[in-house]
Structure 1
Amino acid sequence: MPLFAEARRDLDSYIAARIPVVGLRTIEQPRAMRLVREAAGSPARAGLPFWVYTRATGLRDLRTNAPVNEDRSLTGAMEFAAAQFTGRAQATVVFVDPDDVSGDSPFTRHLSELARLADSNSGCLMLITDTPIWTGLLRLGMTLQLDLPDAEEMYTQITSFLGDHHGVVPIEWTEQDTRRAAEFLVGVTEAEAVNLLATIVAKGSVKREDVHLLARAKDRIFGDLAGLERVQVKEADRQIGGLATLRAWLRNKRELLESDLRGTGLRPPRGVLLVGVPGCGKSLSAKAISAEWRLPLYRLDLASILGKYVGESEGRLKDALETVDRISPCVLWIDEIEKGLAGQNDSTGVNRRLVGQFLFWLQESDSRSFVVATANDVRSLPPELFRKGRFDELFFVDLPDEADRREIIAMYYQRYVKVAPPQDLLDALVSMSEGFAGADLESALHDVGAMRHIRGEAAVTPAFVRDTFANTMPLSRTNPEQIEDIRAWGRDRAVPAGTPAPAPEPGGRGGRRILPQPGVGGGF
């Protein structure tokens, strides 16, 4: 059931039961007022009086908007409410954003007295506020939370808005486009959604590609996010070499992420955990996914989450993850997750609580936020992180094989040297680069491109390129024990992100295998 309809049902029951005080918590006052007016407009309540007080308009009749008296002060409105609750039955007075009601104060105690007067004569005191309500007041009644519109409400809002503009401007959106736009707008207020749609219509047409404008506009609304860093993705980040199995798997996940899952029992894809050798494309994958899927990329900085006070770290992580739900659909990148969630030597218990909080969100959240977490020292991660149902899959990113190195070298040669490499030179570089990570290949070809920029094309001879590769010392040679240790772990415990390994010999022990999937090409 849509959130607005559910809140309307609950409010109807509270009014019918003559609950003496009803707290309606929301950041959308206009939407809350529409909710109250719909409840008051029920034919069964035609004879019941409803008044509403706001700071700007004073006290007015809720249905006719006629002013009640010239005194616009809050004190005058409270005196009027006391008189009505004393002198007539079943009166309802609504206060919109009154003074601070979160703590024990003379004002909240005054409201408590009004609630008791209302209770004595079947009246109702209703408070619309965006802050918590003092428990001493809430014990006299009930509270109701009006959350931001969900995707179904947004779809209805968009359909209504576009319907008002049919025949006025050309509209190319299909129902699927409208559903996609509704998913993008989840997390903003109804007023913000209307403003964003009006901005698109003001261009003079509504084109299919405008759906993605909503994601960028929504991103500007959430420009200052505690614990989250907005990562600007370049067009070049769309390209990535190797990792064929991972790319095919992500292609299917993208289709699921963009699908209409209503009535299927399915949930949007949760994310992927990438472990493996440093410099082999784990972090680059997060940027590539964001660029290819045309979704904003946010980096969760676990170091900034940690605080020095008890409960501070947990509160910051909770706020950050709630914000991720609001800004979805998005890609959430957690780089070197082991540095924030490791905790084997943590005596305070903070890391264990952060792990529990993160895993609960990862499993229970139904937002379309796709998590890309990377790890190098995977042994320091808590074992519950690997349980099926948290991340959709665990991939191991190994050193690129010959085919992957060929693709990566050709890609970076084209990017930095501005031409395709000669075939004989490409063959030589692939042979020379055994044990190179993707970052090593990029670094070597960046040096080649820098020489071309400084000395001109004539300086970039095949001999110079081969010498550059020969002088590059990869991590697999400077620290072979560590790299081999990582590779030994990944072969048996994770799906290979690159070209699947051949089947093991009968009776032999092989690592995890994944069937090749069709449609592997450039990008994700």
Structure 2
Amino acid sequence: MNKEIELLIKAQANVIEVVSYEDKRIHGYVNAAAKSLGMSWYCWNEVNGLQRYDYASKEYVKEDDIKDYLDILNFFTDTLEENAILILQDFHHVLGRDDPKILRKFREILQNKSLPNKVIILSMPVKCVPDDLSKELSVVEIGLPDVKQLRTIANTCLNNYEVNQSSIDVPVLEAALGLTTMEAQLAFSKAIIEFNKLDQSCIPFIISEKESIIKKTGLLEYYHTSTKLGDVGGLENLKNWIDKRGKSFTPEAKEFGLETPKGIMLLGVPGCGKSLTAKAVAKAWNYPLLRFDIGKVFAGIVGESENNVRKALEIARAIAPCVLWIDEIEKGLSGIQSSGQTDGGTTSRVFGTLLTWMQEKTEPVFVIATANNISQLPPELMRKGRFDEVFFVDLPSYDERKKIFQIHIENRKRSIDNLDMEQLARETKGFSGSEIEECVKEALQTAFSEGSKPLTTEYLLEAIRSTVPLSITMGEGLRRLRDWAKFRARLASNGQVEDIDTEKSKSIPRLKSENSNPFLDD
């Protein structure tokens, strides 16, 4: 990274925006570039004023008590000596206010090519450059620490606590991927204090720390999943596809000429295994699972929503290989067609950021996006290149319903030997997987309330007959969804598709507010 900064300085870029939350890393890169080019460097912020870095003592020396933003820019142009770099911290606050005097001063600096080897480094945690400056400003984004940098951090922590350890295994360092320098330093330090070492026995502890830190962002949730592909009833076409693609992440696959899988879109009926599949894929491939709630990226500050989505995607890149699960993606992108009129284009820009990342990412981040409502999905999201495949997840077939009953009954430590599985499958035509699970839970509740009796077919049938499935309440909408998917998506199941009785659906009374539901009749 210091080479990139050094190259821009050599190219006479006199203002460079460096985007990172980590001041120490920015200072380290600037220090390396300055030493290589024989330049001195300074750091300014509103609290500490102007400080010069002294190479001999490796300390910051106070030079001036300048506290005003415009004054420090005037100091740069009028007073600062030649061959010097000035790091300006926290300027995103003033740039976000679009102060005309500050913007005019920056434009003069950017357009003044006679400044002799003077460079401003804007150290900012988020991209916050007004349109007035964006075309003339150079931008460098510093990613999260990689394994090599994490090794340096870990060794520093071991030295600080005087722990004599000759080497650190790579899996220990990989456990901290996705953390900033300070977060990794804290996680390593706590592990050393707890175990007096930093080896593979510390990995669960470090991952637990990482989970807490990632959850704190409010954008991503780190999942520990025990769900196996065998826990997903049916969806054999999808499971076979997943099984084949799991081998495509290996060096042998790359050498063979295969590209790293990008991801899949799972469209279809609510409660039919889309989210369960996302969890099962992560378990099958032994990858971390990150759930991305795209609805949480939206913030009230201009530009903050786009920065939130970049932050979430950067964490996913750093943790790779991983599975990034975007659940109910249509909810986060609803209103994109009218974004310019309703939210100043924020939704559209967030969507653009996500699309660009999906198209250009090279890291092994496998995206699983799930959606229930196809009418809210922008067509750009569906084209080839974003996802490897689009699967339609329909209601389970007869054989799949038997399998789903078996899974949920046996998961609750009950046997199916004395149950009429054929009758249960027949009686649940049009039921989703989650509705079948609820029937099993309700039947067990009834058996328990009547004196902890064994689970019987009769208890299950009683629960089934008291349930009104989605295929009844949303019958016509489900038929339209099937028609849409027929020529646009691949079937996740290899079971026989069963007709939906739309006449029953028409007879159900509805609230006026339900007319907005795209699955229901107009």
Q: TM-score, normalised by structure 2?
A: 0.70
Q: CA deviation at 1:366?
A: 4.1
Report how far residue 282 of structure 1 moved. 2.1
Alignment match, 1:9: 7
Paired letter, 2:425:
V
- Runs (5+) with no aligned partner, structure 2: 317-321, 498-522
Establish whether residue 192 from structure 1 lines up as the match of residue 192 from structure 2. Answer: no
Of 245, 265, 270, the residue aligned with 1:273 is: 265
Q: Which amino acid in 2 is paired with 1:241?
A: G
Does the Cα contact within 8 Å between 1:298 and 1:332 map onto a contact in 2? yes
Which of 491, 499, 502 is equivalent to 1:496?
Answer: 491
Equivalent residues in 2 for 1:219-234 (5 A)? 219-225=211-217, 228=219, 230=221
Report the CA distance between 1:371 and its aligned residue.
3.1
Provide the C-alpha distance between the structure 2 equivalents of 1:478 and 1:106, rounded to a whole number of angstroms. 61
Which whole-Å CA distance do the structure 1 matches of 2:472 and 2:129 have between them?
Answer: 63
Measured at CA, do residues 488 and 85 of structure 1 come closer, stay the same or move farther in structure 2, by a change above 3 Å? closer
Residue-by-residue CA offset, 1:251-310 (whole Å, 9 max, x unaligned) = 4445556879999987653322112333322233334445665534434354x6779x9x
Distance 1:426 1:73 in 2: 81
Question: Contact 1:233/1:297 (CA < 8 Å) preserved in 2?
Answer: no
- Cα distance in structure 2, aligned partners of 1:38 and 1:138: 26
Counterpart of 2:27, as a letter, is: M
Q: How does 1:345-364 map to 2 (within 5 A)?
A: 348=341, 358-364=354-360
Structure 1 residue 389, shift from structure 2 partner = 0.8
Query: Residues 63-112 of structure 1: CA distance to partner in whole angstroms, max 9, x if unpaired?
Result: 12488987651279999999999899734253452776635477788899
| Aligned-partner SS, 2:164 | coil
Is 1:451–2:443 an aligned residue pair?
A: no
Q: Distance in 1 between matches of 2:399 and 2:201?
A: 36
Structure 2 residue 329 is matched with structure 1 residue 331: no
Contact 2:409 2:415 in 1 (8 A): yes
**How far apart are the structure 2 equivalents of 1:377 and 1:280?**
14
Alignment-derived partner of residue 64 in structure 1? 56
Aligned residue number for residue 310 of structure 2: 322
CA distance, structure 2, for counterparts of residue 376 and residue 245 of structure 1: 19
Task: Report what 2:369 is aligned to.
Answer: 373
Aligned residue for 1:241, secondary structure, equals coil
Of 27-36 and 288-297, more deviation after overlay is shown by 288-297
Provide the rounded CA distance (Å) in 2 between the counterparts of 1:384 and 1:137. 30
CA distance in 2, matches of 1:204, 1:282: 43
Q: Are the structure 2 counterparts of residues 123 and 353 from structure 1 closer, same or farther at C-alpha, using a change threshold of 3 Å?
A: closer
Contact 2:325 2:368 in 1 (8 A): yes
Assess if the C-alpha contact under 8 Å between 1:276 and 1:486 holds in 2: yes
Q: Say which SS state the counterpart of residue 481 (structure 2) adopts.
A: helix
Partner amino acid for 2:233?
G
Tell me if 1:27 matches 2:21: yes
- Please give the alpha-carbon distance, in whole angstroms, between the structure 2 residues aligned to 1:450 and 1:275: 32
Paired residue type of 1:463: E
Q: Equivalences for 1:167-316 in 2 at 5 Å?
A: 168-169=164-165, 173-174=169-170, 177=171, 180-181=174-175, 185-186=177-178, 188-202=179-193, 203-206=195-198, 208=200, 214=206, 216-225=208-217, 228=219, 230=221, 235=226, 239-254=231-246, 256=248, 268-289=260-281, 293=286, 295-302=288-295
- Aligned pairs (5 A) from 1:115-134: 119=114, 122-130=116-124, 132=128
Equivalent residue pairs, number:
476
Query: Structure 1 residues 123 and 254, CA, compared in 2 at 3 Å: closer, same or farther?
Result: same
Contact 1:169 1:201 in 2 (8 A): no
Q: Please report the TM-score for the alignment, with normalisation by the length of structure 1.
A: 0.70
| 1:243 to 1:208, Cα distance in 2 relative to 1, 3 A | farther
Alignment CA distance shift 1:348-1:69 (3 Å):
closer
**Cα offset, 1:35, TM superposition:** 1.9
The answer as to whether partners of 1:169 and 1:204 remain within 8 angstroms in 2 is no
In 2, distance between residues paired with 1:61 and 1:353? 39
Greater shift, 255-264 or 440-449, is seen at: 255-264
Q: Secondary structure at the match of 1:337?
A: helix
State the secondary structure of the residue aligned to 1:145.
Answer: strand
1:97 aligns with 2:89: yes
- Partner amino acid, structure 2, of 1:445: V
Assess, with a 3 A threshold, how the Cα gap between structure 1 residues 41 and 381 changes in structure 2: closer, same or farther.
closer
User: Over residues 323-357 of structure 1, what are the superposed CA-to-partner deviations in whole Å (9 max), with x where a residue is unaligned?
Assistant: 32122145232316278447789995967777655
Structure 1 residue 37 corresponds to structure 2 residue 35 = no
**Other structure's SS at 1:447 match:** helix
Q: Distance in 2 between matches of 1:481 and 1:80?
A: 67
Question: Residues 20 and 124 of structure 1 are in contact (CA less than 8 Å); yes or no, is this contact kept in structure 2?
Answer: yes
Unpaired runs of 5+ residues, structure 1, are: 503-524
Alpha-carbon offset, residue 498 of structure 1? 2.3
* 1:27 partner amino acid: Y
Going from structure 1 to structure 2, the CA distance change for 1:355 and 1:30 (only over 3 Å counts) comes to closer
* Residue equivalent to 2:502: none
How far residue 446 of structure 1 moved from its aligned partner, in angstroms, is 1.0
Counterpart position of 1:392: 388
| CA distance in structure 2 between the partners assigned to 1:408 and 1:250 by the alignment | 19
Find the aligned partners of 1:488 and 1:476 in 2 and give their Cα distance. Answer: 15
- Contact 1:341–1:354 (8 Å) recurs in 2: no
For residues 438 and 201 of structure 2, what CA distance do their matches in structure 1 show?
36
AA aligned opposite 1:193: A
Matched AA of 1:189: T
How far off its partner does 1:242 sit?
2.0
What is the one-letter code of the residue matched to 1:300?
D
Q: CA deviation at 1:438?
A: 0.9
Q: Which shifted more, 251-260 or 438-447?
A: 251-260
**1:9-31 deviation per Cα after TM superposition (whole angstroms, max 9, x unaligned):** 334x15xx5x6665555432222
RMSD: 5.0
Residue 126 of structure 1 aligns to a residue whose secondary structure is strand
Whether the aligned pair in 2 keeps the contact of 1:25 and 1:143 (CA below 8 Å) is no
CA shift in 2, pair 1:200/1:258, >3 Å: farther
Give the Å deviation of 1:394. 1.0
1:438 aligns with 2:433: yes
